[in-house]
Amino acid sequence: MNVIDDAPLRAALAEESPRWKFVSGTRYREMSRVFALQLVAIAAHRESGRVVDGQTLTDAFAAKLHPLLDGRPADDAEGNTREPEAQGGIGGWTHAAAAWILVLASRTPTVWDQIPAEERERADLIMQALAVAGHFTMGDGNECHILLDGLSAHDKSWNINITEGYVDVMAAAGQYFGAPALDAFFASFDFDSFVARLRAANLMNIVRCWTHRPGIAGLVMHGGRHELPPPKRPLDLGGIAGTALGVRRPFRFQGLPADDAWGLFLTQGYRQFAKCVRTRINVQTGEHTRLLQRATSAEVSPWEGRLGMCTEFEGTDWYGVRSCLQYAFEGTMIVIGTGASLRALGLWRDDDSGRELERRLAVGLADLQFKAREGYRGWAHGKEILEGGDMIEGHGAAHVFAMGTTWFALPAEQ
């Protein structure tokens, strides 16, 4: 069993417990703190008796969970509490991590025994709310162009960093509740009574998100047609119609139920690490990507030509070709966190599918780290971007890379 070193664990333990807020039309994320807690959660589950700086990992993990689950009152003028706002879609950047953190806590008796009954009930409510948002935005039959705030644009066809998180949320919810219980919850779901329960538990980030715009309750309950608000900029998606069947039906994603965690994860993992490694990508006439050579004189990645490069190093956006280190990381951070959680829980399969994905993941992670160290001349939104590791440090890259390099073997250079 691979064991994480003390140094990255100390760095993760030094981070404050994360919080979320509801901010109209956007997301509030404390990404470094979130991925630090996910790293602690995985380590505590794998080594429950381990002591770091005089404290067991399980005690430290439980202590970091209390601010999220204890129902403390809002601490700012806007009325924000601390839980994920269960918005769906791109909110999955950190909401997938939150979901797996709760699964890991519930599967680690020395942690869960420290969580009072009322806090466990809030954990159940948070997981149910995340599952509703995942069903509404990613479930088969729901072709929604809005998130649960009734304002933010969304589409299931968009790039992986936007869609992957809530597929992983549903895999976590399937592990937390089991698919039969989760589908029974969906079948009997009543928006107003559930919101009342959230309000009574002081989970006001979710309440404020879901009640921000009229019409969401009906769409979530019964489905129907909806339109995005008119676009504010020429290339914005707006004024187009989507349809929903609602969430009062069994959840499936590409035909897979919520308790098929491995199958759901494969749909995202293979999509994320789908390209052959390339360093020079032509983005338009006379323009191409390249290394900035901040660490060595290398002109290409050591893994050039190997399968596994992050999709967003050779993708598209509304302006044309996109090859962007930051976007590549934003997809990878979700896959790594979910993959490490699956491995900790014994759900990563040691079969052809698991070995193939691990090979791709190892190449993609190593290539991403190399390009971050060297610096990368990328391209996004129709213009040049000069990127390096400093651009992803605030996103919790150190904690994500610690999860990746500890629990997945890195490939040899060519």
Half-sphere exposure of 13 (CA within 13 A, CB side): 22
Instruction: Scan for tokens 């979320």, then name that residue.
Output: 20
- In angstroms, the Cα distances linking 349 to 89, 155, 174, 354 are 27, 30, 17, 5
Angle between helices 31-46 and 92-106 (to 10 degrees): 20
Question: Where exactly are the structural domains of the chain?
Answer: 1-259, 260-414
CB atoms within 10 A of CB 390: 10
Distance CA 187, CA 413 (A): 51
Distance CA 314, CA 324 (A): 8
Copy the structure tokens of residue 176. Answer: 């937390």
Per-residue pLDDT of the chain (414 residues; tens, 9 = 90+): 578 999 999 999 999 999 999 999 899 999 999 999 999 999 999 999 999 999 999 999 999 999 999 999 998 999 999 999 999 999 999 999 999 999 999 999 999 999 999 999 999 999 999 999 999 999 999 998 899 999 888 889 888 999 999 999 999 999 999 999 999 999 999 999 999 999 999 999 999 999 999 899 999 999 999 877 776 665 566 667 889 999 999 999 999 999 999 999 999 999 999 999 999 999 998 999 999 999 999 999 999 999 999 999 999 988 899 999 999 999 999 999 999 999 999 999 999 999 999 999 999 999 999 999 999 999 999 999 999 999 999 999 999 999 999 999 877 776
In sequence order, what are the residues at sequence separation of 6 or more whose Cβ sits closer than 8 angstroms to the Cβ of residue 372?
325, 329, 387, 388, 389, 392, 397
